[in-house]
Structure 1
């Protein structure tokens, strides 16, 4: 009986491994094609040819093209900003923004604005998925802020931290967009300037006042 159970467990693990490999190959192909051709000009047939995975398997893994695009974007960002960075030793904001700079300079970082274009013109699933994508990243910033919150922070600190997360996310995206449109923008200097501004004004987030 135990031998049969072990064989079944091995079989399930093998199926899971095959599924994960197929998913990775689909994501790799889609990321390359979206970056090269754009979202609209890339079809499931193109992705199937590039990945070597059957066309019918793609919606099984990702439901639809919008879901695939969101999965590509989330993986691309997690490559440089992995969630565990917010759960282990606390990195400085300057360090986090250096990680973001590395991603912004990668060939596929424009995907974040490709998805934004899709979301702005949609009231369906892609907008909801993009909202969740940003909410996830705002929650990570809030966790980072909360981990540094001083004892005795003023009332309403939770609300101010959430507002700060929105502001910081918007500032980073704005700098990123300017860099993509105009490569003469000094991306590193702009992001590090943002980090210095935030560090200087964190007391306001927690209910304190700035030094005169």
Structure 2
């Protein structure tokens, strides 16, 4: 069993890590990865510059930690433990991204487009995981009397289309927020698929 002293040290370490991640996330969204330094993050977080590599080794490690936390917050693994409608899932995504994370998400996307960057493979895996998650939701709601192989193909294509729609609407809202009602747009897309999936499975 850990002593009170060790537990306190762990709590301080966890708090320092959280503050560093919070500051890095804000600065990455504001300035981008390349224009954010450990000095900037130390000033924003109130944590000494030397503590950052102690927690994350280097800037790549910090970037990956920020990406992983953002991805988990937007699309948590436990989302697939129930069978919600697509409208419920998209509504949750809207709420999570409307708190200022859209800029970070698309900053990550820009970085991921560089196939030599540290974020590329992780973001590609995130997209695959999110599409697979949507496939799971669709499969759990699949009628019992449709052909499984045919349905699987349709679900995979639908997952890609839904994921693309989700990213596209958020990008539009980020570029021109006054012209895009993101909540209404995402709920409309999800509702359309919710209402028409039975026809898609039977085509």
For normalisation by structure 2, the TM-score amounts to 0.83
> In the alignment, which residue of structure 2 is the partner of 1:174?
168
Alpha-carbon distance in structure 2 between the residues aligned to 1:49 and 1:163: 46
Stretches of structure 1 lacking an aligned partner (at least 5 in a row): 1-5
Note the aligned Cα RMSD (angstroms): 2.5
Instruction: Please tell me whether the aligned partners of residues 20 and 42 of structure 2 are also in contact (alpha carbons under 8 angstroms).
Output: yes
Q: Of the candidates 2, 13, 21, which is equivalent to residue 15 of structure 2?
A: 21
Aligned-partner SS, 1:125: coil
For normalisation by structure 1, the TM-score amounts to 0.80
Give how far 1:9 is off. Answer: 6.2
> In the alignment, which residue of structure 1 is the partner of 2:190?
195
Q: Is 1:44 the equivalent of 2:46?
A: no
Larger Rg: 1
> In the alignment, which residue of structure 2 is the partner of 1:99?
92
Q: Is 1:113 the equivalent of 2:97?
A: no
Q: Are residues 53 and 98 of structure 1, via their aligned partners in 2, closer, same or farther at CA, if it must alter by over 3 Å?
A: same
Q: Are residues 12 and 203 of structure 1, via their aligned partners in 2, closer, same or farther at CA, if it must alter by over 3 Å?
A: farther
Q: Are residues 182 and 92 of structure 1, via their aligned partners in 2, closer, same or farther at CA, if it must alter by over 3 Å?
A: same
Q: Is 1:160 the equivalent of 2:178?
A: no
Alpha-carbon distance in structure 1 between the residues aligned to 2:75 and 2:101: 14
> In the alignment, which residue of structure 2 is the partner of 1:138?
131
Stretches of structure 2 lacking an aligned partner (at least 5 in a row): none
Alpha-carbon distance in structure 2 between the residues aligned to 1:124 and 1:187: 30
